[in-house]
Structure 1
Amino acid sequence: MAPHNDAPSPSGSFTAGFNRIPFRPVGSSSLMAGHESPLSSSYSTTSEASDLHMTRPLVPGVYVPTMCFFEEGSEDVDTDTIARHAVRLARAGVTGLATQGSNGEAVHLTHAERQLVTSTTRKALNDSGFSHMPIIVGCGSQSTRETIQYCREAWEAGGDYALVLPPSYYASLFAPASETIIKYFTAVADASPIPIIIYNFPGAVGGLDLSSDIIVQLAEHHNIVGVKLTCGNTGKLNRVAAATRKRSKTHDPKNPEFLVLAGSADFSIQALVAGGHGILAGLANIAPKACTRTIELFNQGKHAEAQEMQEIVAQGDWTAIQGGVVGVKSGLQSWLGYGGYARSPLPKPTAAQEKKWKEGYRDLVMLEKSL
Structure 2
Amino acid sequence: MISKTTNGQPEALGVGLYVPTVAFFNSADEIDVETTISHAASLLQAGVAGIVTHGSNGEAVHLDHAERQVVNKATRKALDDAGKSHLPLIVGCGAQSTRETIQLCKEAAESGGTHTLILPPAYYGGLVTTELIKQHFITVADASPIPILIYNFPGATSGLDLSSDTIIELSQHPNIVGVKLTCGNTGKLARVIAGTAGTSFRTFGGSCDFTIQTLAAGGHGVIAGTGNLAPRACIQLFQTWEQGKLAEAARLQGVVAEGDWAAIQGGFVAVKSALQRYRGYGGLPRRPCAPLEGKALEAQLNGFAELMAYEKKLSAQ
| Pairwise TM-score range, normalised by the shorter structure | over 0.9
Q: Tell whether 2:145 aligns with 1:193.
A: yes
For 1:338, give the aligned amino acid.
Y
Gaps of 5+ in 1: 1-52, 249-256
- The residue that corresponds to 1:245 in the other structure is 197
- The residue that corresponds to 1:335 in the other structure is 278
Q: CA deviation at 1:57?
A: 4.7
After superposition, the CA RMSD in angstroms is 1.0
| Equivalent in 117, 133, 139 of residue 71 of structure 2 | 117
* Superimposed CA distance per residue, residues 198-230 of structure 1 (whole angstroms, 9 cap, x where no aligned partner): 000000010000000000000000000000000
Higher fraction of helix: 2
- The residue that corresponds to 1:354 in the other structure is 297
Q: Tell whether 2:72 aligns with 1:129.
A: no
Normalised to the residue count of structure 1, the TM-score between the two structures is: 0.81
Cα contact 1:330–1:357 (8 A) shared by 2: no
For 2:180, give the aligned amino acid.
K
Cα contact 1:65–1:101 (8 A) shared by 2: yes
Q: Distance in 2 between matches of 1:356 and 1:171?
A: 36
- The residue that corresponds to 1:145 in the other structure is 99
- The residue that corresponds to 1:184 in the other structure is 136
- The residue that corresponds to 1:5 in the other structure is none
Residue 198 of structure 1: SS of its match in structure 2? Answer: strand
* Superimposed CA distance per residue, residues 243-300 of structure 1 (whole angstroms, 9 cap, x where no aligned partner): 1015x3xxxxxxxx01100001100001111221110000000000000110111112
Q: Tell whether 2:94 aligns with 1:94.
A: no
Gaps of 5+ in 2: 4-10
Cα contact 1:200–1:231 (8 A) shared by 2: yes
How many residue pairs get aligned? The number is 307
Normalised to the residue count of structure 2, the TM-score between the two structures is: 0.95
Cα contact 2:44–2:82 (8 A) shared by 1: no
Q: CA deviation at 1:59?
A: 0.6
Which protein, 1 or 2, shows the higher relative CO under an 8 Å CA cutoff with sep ≥ 6?
1
Q: Distance in 2 between matches of 1:63 and 1:352?
A: 32
Q: Distance in 1 between matches of 2:214 and 2:12?
A: 21
Q: Map residues 204-283 of structure 1 onto 2, 5 A cutoff.
A: 204-246=156-198, 248=199, 257-283=200-226
Cα contact 1:65–1:98 (8 A) shared by 2: yes
Q: Tell whether 2:31 aligns with 1:58.
A: no
Residue 68 of structure 1: SS of its match in structure 2? Answer: coil
- The residue that corresponds to 1:321 in the other structure is 264
Q: Distance in 1 between matches of 2:305 and 2:71?
A: 29
Q: CA deviation at 1:54?
A: 4.8
Q: CA deviation at 1:353?
A: 2.8
Q: CA deviation at 1:351?
A: 2.0
Q: CA deviation at 1:128?
A: 2.0
Identity of aligned residues (%): 56
Q: Which has the larger radius of gyration?
A: 1
Residue 284 of structure 2: SS of its match in structure 1? Answer: coil
Q: Map residues 135-174 of structure 1 onto 2, 5 A cutoff.
A: 135-174=89-128
Q: Distance in 2 between matches of 1:60 and 1:204?
A: 25
- The residue that corresponds to 2:26 in the other structure is 71
Moved over 4 A (4+): none
Cα contact 2:12–2:202 (8 A) shared by 1: no
